[in-house]
């Protein structure tokens, strides 16, 4: 029996005294894509860091590959899941290639230096996000969108079977939004990777995910296949703003009333 890449059992997440997620049960298999949607401050990012094992849950457990994430040594966790944060800030200078290479850290021994194979890995990842030829650029000369794509390349270099992405589309133009979503769809389809992403566009979530998790911010959550759960009715309630649904060639589109 194959174990789930990621599993949450009776998970409770609190920010201060406020419980934002209560009794969440969730299981993600390889090749599956899950979108997390909710209002600002509903606890989407906090949930994602908890799922990544970067934050202790207030109750329940997170399992990576069947093992309790809170008991895994950090390096073991890093081999099982990659996490993309919302903010990249770089007080010190570094080149694009050096930054992408940081993803190799969990694969290297204490005294190892990155090999040419690792560098090839990083170059491939840079190419995949359209940053080929920029290896020697300093990171603070990059635009916001380029910096975001570099963060995604670093994630690919980490080569973990599970991707936890917090707003992977922030700062990206339309063309790169589609490219990144197609990249992860391809990784899920061809490499059997699991993808969890916090998204703000329900149409893209519908198009690029298998299931969606709605986070209401008061502890309630709802999960289901995108066709069932991403409807004008549920989303209007989720965002507290009326939405109208339009279908076009199998893709859904939501227009604010």
Partner 1 sequence: MPTRQRAILILASLALLTLASFGFALTVGSFKVSYADVFAALLGHEGGGGEVVLQLRLPRAIAGFACGGLLALAGALMQVLLRNPLADPYVLGISGGAGVGAMFAILIGLPVIGIDGLAFVGALGAMFIVFGLAHGDGSWTQTRLLLTGVIVAAGCGALVALMLAIAEEHKLRGMLFWLMGDLGQSAQWWPAVLALVVALTLAMPFARELNLLSRGMMQAQALGVAVDRLRYAIYLLASLATAASVTTAGSIGFVGLVVPHLVRLATGNDQRLLLPASVLAGGSLLVLADTLARTIIAPQQLPVGVLTALIGVPVFLFLLSRQPK
The pattern of x and - marking residues 146 through 165 that bind partner 1 according to CB under 8 A reads ------------x-------
Q: Which of 79, 178, 185, 232 is the binder for partner 1 (CB under 8 A)?
A: 79
Q: Which span (82-90, 173-181, 190-198, 237-245) binds partner 1, by CB under 8 A?
A: 82-90
Strand order of the sheet with strand 18-28? Answer: 18-28, 6-15, 59-64, 67-68
Interface residues for partner 1 in 104-123 (CB under 8 A)?
105-106, 108, 110-111, 113-114, 119
Cβ closest to partner 1, residue 93 vs residue 242? 93
Distance CA 93, CA 91 (A): 7
Q: What angle do CA 213, 148, 202 make, to 5 degrees?
A: 30
**Contacts of range 104-108, beta carbons closer than 8 Å, 24 or more positions apart:** 104/157, 104/158, 105/78, 106/75, 106/78, 106/79, 106/158, 107/79, 107/159
Site for partner 1 in 55-74 (CB under 8 A): 73-74
Closest distance between partner 1 and the C-beta of residue 152, in Å?
Answer: 13
- Here the tokens at position 135 are 């290896």
Question: Contacting partner 1 (CB under 8 A), which of 10, 66, 71, 102?
Answer: 102
Distance CA 166, CA 245 (A): 25
Interface with partner 1, residue 94, by CB under 8 A: yes
Binding segment for partner 1 among 102-110, 191-199, 219-227, 235-243 (CB under 8 A)?
Answer: 102-110
Question: Which class for 170: exposed (0-12), middle (13-18), buried (19 or more C-beta within 10 A)?
Answer: middle
Q: What are phi and psi of 244, to 5 degrees?
A: -115, 140
Of residues 24 through 53, those in contact with partner 1 by CB under 8 A are 49, 52
CA distances from 215 to 43, 83, 97, 141, 228 (A): 7, 19, 36, 36, 16
| Residue among 75 and 127 whose Cβ is closer to partner 1 | 75
Nearer to partner 1, 10 or 138 (CB): 138
Q: Which is nearer to partner 1, 79 or 185 (CB)?
A: 79
Q: How far is the CB of 126 from partner 1 (least distance, A)?
A: 13
Residue range at the interface with partner 1 (CB under 8 A); choices 16-24, 133-141, 173-181, 199-207: 133-141
d(CA 131, CA 256): 35
Distance CA 146, CA 215 (A): 29
Least spacing, CB of residue 171 vs partner 1, in Å: 17
Contacting positions for partner 1 (CB under 8 A): 49, 52, 54, 73-79, 82-83, 85, 88-95, 97-99, 101-103, 105-106, 108, 110-111, 113-114, 119, 138, 140-141, 158
């Amino acid at each position: 029996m194959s174990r789930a890449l990621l599993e949450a059992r009776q998970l409770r997440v609190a920010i201060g005294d406020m419980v934002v997620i209560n009794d969440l049960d969730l299981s993600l298999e390889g090749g599956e894509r899950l979108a997390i949607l909710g209002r600002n401050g509903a606890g989407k990012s906090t949930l994602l860091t908890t799922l990544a094992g970067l934050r202790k849950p207030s109750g329940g457990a997170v399992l990576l590959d069947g093992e309790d994430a809170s008991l895994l040594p950090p390096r073991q966790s890093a081999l099982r899941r990659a996490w993309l944060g919302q903010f990249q800030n770089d007080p010190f200078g570094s080149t694009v290639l050096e930054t992408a290479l940081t993803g190799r850290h969990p694969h290297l021994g204490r005294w190892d230096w990155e090999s040419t194979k690792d560098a090839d890995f990083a170059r491939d990842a840079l190419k995949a996000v359209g940053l080929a030829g920029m290896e020697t650029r300093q990171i603070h000369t990059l635009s916001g969108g380029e910096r975001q794509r570099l963060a995604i390349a670093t994630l690919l270099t980490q080569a973990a079977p599970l991707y936890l992405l917090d707003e992977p589309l922030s700062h990206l133009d339309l063309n790169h939004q589609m490219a990144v979503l197609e990249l992860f769809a391809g990784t899920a389809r061809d490499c059997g990777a699991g993808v969890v992403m916090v998204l703000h566009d329900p149409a893209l979530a519908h198009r690029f995910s298998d299931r969606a998790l709605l986070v209401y911010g008061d502890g309630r959550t709802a999960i289901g296949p995108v066709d069932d759960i991403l409807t004008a009715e549920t989303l209007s309630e989720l965002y507290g703003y009326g939405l109208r649904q339009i279908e076009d060639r199998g893709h859904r589109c939501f227009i604010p009333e």
